[in-house]
Amino acid sequence: MASAAAHAPGVEPLARLVRAARDAAGLVDADLARITGLSTQHVSQIVNHEKRYSRPPTARTLQALQKIPGLSQADILRAVQESSGLGVSSKTAPVKWTGARRSAHNLIDRFPESALPSVVQILGALLDEIGER
Protein backbone atom coordinates (compact mmCIF):
# COMPACT_ATOMS: atom_id res chain seq x y z
CA MET A 1 0.00 0.00 0.00
CA ALA A 2 2.54 2.58 -1.01
CA SER A 3 0.22 4.94 -2.85
CA ALA A 4 0.58 8.70 -2.71
CA ALA A 5 -2.49 8.87 -0.45
CA ALA A 6 -0.75 6.64 2.08
CA HIS A 7 2.03 9.17 2.59
CA ALA A 8 0.22 12.48 2.06
CA PRO A 9 1.47 15.03 4.59
CA GLY A 10 -1.10 16.61 6.89
CA VAL A 11 -3.62 13.81 6.44
CA GLU A 12 -5.01 12.18 9.58
CA PRO A 13 -3.46 8.68 9.98
CA LEU A 14 -6.68 6.63 9.93
CA ALA A 15 -7.98 8.57 6.92
CA ARG A 16 -4.64 8.06 5.18
CA LEU A 17 -4.74 4.30 5.92
CA VAL A 18 -8.33 3.83 4.71
CA ARG A 19 -7.71 5.93 1.59
CA ALA A 20 -4.61 3.91 0.74
CA ALA A 21 -6.49 0.61 1.13
CA ARG A 22 -9.42 1.95 -0.88
CA ASP A 23 -7.15 3.16 -3.68
CA ALA A 24 -5.04 -0.01 -3.72
CA ALA A 25 -8.19 -2.12 -4.09
CA GLY A 26 -9.61 0.19 -6.78
CA LEU A 27 -12.68 0.96 -4.68
CA VAL A 28 -14.75 4.08 -4.04
CA ASP A 29 -16.39 5.21 -0.80
CA ALA A 30 -19.71 3.57 -1.74
CA ASP A 31 -17.86 0.24 -2.09
CA LEU A 32 -16.33 0.70 1.36
CA ALA A 33 -19.78 1.40 2.80
CA ARG A 34 -21.13 -1.80 1.23
CA ILE A 35 -18.15 -3.89 2.45
CA THR A 36 -18.10 -2.51 5.99
CA GLY A 37 -21.80 -2.04 6.61
CA LEU A 38 -21.16 1.58 7.61
CA SER A 39 -23.18 4.36 6.00
CA THR A 40 -21.67 6.17 3.02
CA GLN A 41 -21.72 9.36 5.11
CA HIS A 42 -19.77 7.64 7.92
CA VAL A 43 -17.18 6.29 5.47
CA SER A 44 -16.85 9.75 3.93
CA GLN A 45 -16.30 11.27 7.39
CA ILE A 46 -13.51 8.76 8.11
CA VAL A 47 -11.82 9.16 4.72
CA ASN A 48 -11.99 12.96 4.80
CA HIS A 49 -11.09 13.42 8.49
CA GLU A 50 -8.26 15.96 8.70
CA LYS A 51 -7.55 16.53 12.40
CA ARG A 52 -6.46 14.19 15.16
CA TYR A 53 -9.25 12.36 16.93
CA SER A 54 -9.96 13.70 20.41
CA ARG A 55 -12.12 10.61 20.90
CA PRO A 56 -11.30 7.57 18.75
CA PRO A 57 -13.93 5.91 16.55
CA THR A 58 -16.09 3.31 18.27
CA ALA A 59 -15.05 -0.33 18.51
CA ARG A 60 -17.92 -1.15 16.10
CA THR A 61 -16.48 1.24 13.51
CA LEU A 62 -12.95 -0.12 13.95
CA GLN A 63 -14.22 -3.69 13.54
CA ALA A 64 -16.13 -2.70 10.41
CA LEU A 65 -12.99 -1.14 8.91
CA GLN A 66 -11.19 -4.49 9.28
CA LYS A 67 -13.42 -5.80 6.47
CA ILE A 68 -11.70 -3.51 3.96
CA PRO A 69 -9.28 -5.52 1.81
CA GLY A 70 -5.69 -4.91 2.87
CA LEU A 71 -6.46 -3.59 6.36
CA SER A 72 -5.61 -5.48 9.52
CA GLN A 73 -6.64 -4.84 13.09
CA ALA A 74 -3.04 -3.96 13.96
CA ASP A 75 -2.82 -1.38 11.13
CA ILE A 76 -6.10 0.21 12.17
CA LEU A 77 -5.18 0.37 15.86
CA ARG A 78 -1.76 1.81 15.05
CA ALA A 79 -3.40 4.55 12.96
CA VAL A 80 -5.93 5.32 15.72
CA GLN A 81 -3.16 5.52 18.30
CA GLU A 82 -1.11 7.79 16.05
CA SER A 83 -4.16 9.95 15.40
CA SER A 84 -4.89 10.23 19.11
CA GLY A 85 -1.33 11.39 19.73
CA LEU A 86 -0.34 8.17 21.48
CA GLY A 87 2.81 6.22 20.82
CA VAL A 88 2.51 2.72 19.46
CA SER A 89 3.51 0.22 22.10
CA SER A 90 5.77 -2.69 21.32
CA LYS A 91 6.52 -3.54 24.93
CA THR A 92 5.68 -6.90 26.45
CA ALA A 93 6.79 -6.31 30.03
CA PRO A 94 5.50 -8.32 33.00
CA VAL A 95 2.28 -7.00 34.49
CA LYS A 96 2.77 -4.61 37.39
CA TRP A 97 -0.56 -3.97 39.13
CA THR A 98 -0.48 -0.24 39.78
CA GLY A 99 -3.51 1.89 40.49
CA ALA A 100 -3.76 2.96 36.86
CA ARG A 101 -3.53 -0.63 35.63
CA ARG A 102 -6.20 -1.76 38.11
CA SER A 103 -8.49 1.06 36.99
CA ALA A 104 -7.94 0.16 33.34
CA HIS A 105 -8.71 -3.49 34.10
CA ASN A 106 -11.97 -2.51 35.80
CA LEU A 107 -12.89 -0.30 32.85
CA ILE A 108 -12.25 -3.13 30.39
CA ASP A 109 -14.87 -5.25 32.15
CA ARG A 110 -17.54 -2.80 30.99
CA PHE A 111 -16.94 -3.45 27.27
CA PRO A 112 -18.38 -6.33 25.23
CA GLU A 113 -15.97 -9.19 24.53
CA SER A 114 -15.78 -8.32 20.83
CA ALA A 115 -14.36 -4.87 21.60
CA LEU A 116 -11.66 -6.01 24.01
CA PRO A 117 -8.70 -6.23 21.59
CA SER A 118 -9.23 -2.61 20.56
CA VAL A 119 -9.81 -1.40 24.11
CA VAL A 120 -6.77 -3.22 25.50
CA GLN A 121 -4.51 -1.82 22.77
CA ILE A 122 -5.65 1.75 23.35
CA LEU A 123 -5.44 1.46 27.14
CA GLY A 124 -1.98 -0.08 26.87
CA ALA A 125 -0.81 2.88 24.84
CA LEU A 126 -2.27 5.25 27.44
CA LEU A 127 -0.39 3.42 30.19
CA ASP A 128 2.81 3.68 28.17
CA GLU A 129 2.29 7.42 27.80
CA ILE A 130 2.01 7.96 31.56
CA GLY A 131 4.86 5.56 32.30
CA GLU A 132 2.76 2.98 34.11
CA ARG A 133 3.83 0.04 31.96
17-29: pLDDT as tens digits: 999 999 999 999 9
Assign 93 to helix, strand or coil: coil
Q: Distance between CA atoms of 106 and 100, rounded to whole angstroms?
A: 10
Quickly list DSSP for 31-68.
HHHHHH---HHHHHHHHT--S--SSPPPHHHHHHHTTS
Q: How many helices (H) and strands (E) does the chain have?
A: 7, 0
Q: For 75, what's the count of Cα atoms within 13 Å in the CB-facing half-sphere?
A: 18
Please state whether the predicted TM-score (pTM) of the whole model is above 0.85.
no
Characterise 63 by phi-psi region: left (phi > 0), alpha (psi -120 to 50), beta (else): alpha
How many domains in the chain? Answer: 1
Top pLDDT among 66 and 110 is at 66
Q: At 115, which CATH number?
A: 1.10.260.40
Band (121; pLDDT cuts 50, 70, 90): confident
Domain that holds residue 108: 4-129
What is the structure's pLDDT at 35? 94
Band (83; pLDDT cuts 50, 70, 90): confident
What are the residues whose beta carbons fall under 8 Å from the beta carbon of 117, sequence distance 6 or more?
Answer: 73, 77
